[in-house]
Amino acid sequence: MKKILFSLVIFLILMPVFVFGENRLDVKIGKSFEAGKEVKLSTKGQFKVVSGDFDEINKVDSQNITVIYKDGKIYISSKNFTMENFPSDGSLLISANKDIKVDNFKISYDGGISFRINDNKLDLINNIDLENYLRGILPKEMSPSFPDEALKAQAVASRSFALANINKYIKKGYNLNDTTACQVYKGKTSYDKKTDAAVKATEGEFLTYDGKICDAIFGASSGGYIADSSEVWGGNKSPYLISKEDPYSSYAWDFLLTSKELNKLKLGNIYTIDISEKDSSGRCKKIVITGQNGVKEMTGNEFRNAMGNMSVKSSLFEIINLGDSFQIKGRGFGHGVGLSQYGAVEMAKQKFDYKGILDFYYPGTTIENKDLGNEDK
């Protein structure tokens, strides 16, 4: 059995620590792996080791690769190939002529796979073309069954968000991750022909305001009133993420707070829960809870997180004291800032095109188009 060994010296002449073309992203995928934990990669094609520019360095001549981080080094191996001290700076990647499946996640990816070490753990990084990244996002952020114009609006918003937040995790050696902290991304496994069409129809389009790429934040439903980003998260006021009435998104919900939820507040028996301050969109800004063991003041978001944000679906709510419990009647789903996905659907049903939808939810913005290419065909 032939074994191929590369020394670290070879890596030093290849590429800078962090290089990607303007049309590519480095996205952390899945969980981080503890030292000693094996990662299994497979493909229906053939693996190869490539440079950051995807120039072939070495054929692996295998459909399976094992990756492991131990003793401060990254090792990759297959039946006929071993590589010791694989770089952790993105200068080399694992690629294939077919998509790559990370067996640990049961998800397949276009592009290439590289690695980073953070907090003494192995991070898997998918180097992916921006447009194909969006193809892996859209079906997870918006149902493919939604109207075409709503899907197009989401595609432009998602592309804008990605570009605006491209350096979010640069200190960790990558751009974005695949969670709701950025956008939910599940690689080629999630591609769908309807959402693919929305990405293609808007290829290269993104939002700007005053010449700068917009941080096009979005959520499920505004509940009838869009929230101001500065009131939700603090910071400077954004001219296009403002509070205003939204007649297209009217999601309503209610939830009963029983002793199970109220015990999380650690105040003993709860006597009153009062909303003491609201923001300009009517969302709860401050809540005062009086209980057997004292008084606690919380923001609406803190209260929502404490009670469970899938139960208390937004901070746009009223509280009714029922004596032995409290009923919450609310509207909206999520933070309420920017584009409302349910609202986009309703606007599309009312014959608004995607440009009209974006203009309503991001007032004063401009759609620009730049050909960023699509290399992972």
User: If 0-12 CB within 10 Å is exposed, 13-18 middle and 19+ buried, where does residue 374 land?
Assistant: middle
pLDDT digits (tens, 9 = 90+) for 286-304: 999 999 999 999 999 999 9
108-118 pLDDT tens trace: 999 999 999 99
pLDDT over threshold 60, residue 164: yes
Confidence of residue 266 (pLDDT cuts 50, 70, 90): very high
**Single pTM value for the model:** 0.90
User: pLDDT-derived band of residue 61, with 50, 70 and 90 as boundaries?
Assistant: confident
Q: Summarize pLDDT for 213-227 with one digit per residue, the tens.
A: 999 999 999 999 999
How would you list the strands of the sheet with 252-257, edge to edge? 252-257, 326-331, 317-321
pLDDT bracket for residue 23 (50, 70, 90)? confident
Joined together, the tokens standing for residue 177 give 């991750």
Phi, psi of 4 (to 5 degrees): -115, 120
pLDDT at 377: 36
Answer yes or no: are the C-beta atoms of 341 and 218 closer than 8 Å: yes
Rounded Cα gap, residues 35 and 29, in angstroms? 17
